[in-house]
Amino acid sequence: MSNIAPEITLCARNLTRRFGNITVIHNLSLELKRGEVLGLLGHNGAGKTTTLQMLTGCLLPDNAEKSECSIEICGIDLLRKPTLAKAHLGYLPETPPLYRELSVNDYLTFAARLRGMKSADVAGALTQTLQRCGLEAVGKKIIGTLSKGYQQRVGIAQAIIHSPAVIVLDEPTVGLDPAQIRGIRTLIRELGDTHSVILSTHLLGEVESVCDRVEIMQHGRLIYGDTSAHMRQHGNGKMSLEEVFLEITENHAAEELAL
**Model confidence band, residue 5 (pLDDT cutoffs 50, 70, 90):** very low
124 or 231: which carries more pLDDT confidence? 124
Q: Which residues contact 189 (CB under 8 A, 6 or more apart)?
A: 37, 209, 210
Locate the domains of the chain by residue range: 98-163
Q: Is the pLDDT of residue 88 over 90?
A: yes
Q: Is the pLDDT of residue 210 over 80?
A: yes
Judged by average pLDDT, the poorest of 92-101, 103-112, 147-156, 198-207 is 198-207
CA dist., res. 164 & res. 158, Å (int): 11
| pTM attached to this predicted model | 0.89
Judged by average pLDDT, the poorest of 79-93, 127-141, 223-237 is 223-237
Q: Given this model, what pLDDT does residue 44 score?
A: 87
**Model confidence band, residue 1 (pLDDT cutoffs 50, 70, 90):** very low
**Which letter does DSSP use for residue 6 in this model?**
T
Q: Given this model, what pLDDT does residue 4 score?
A: 46
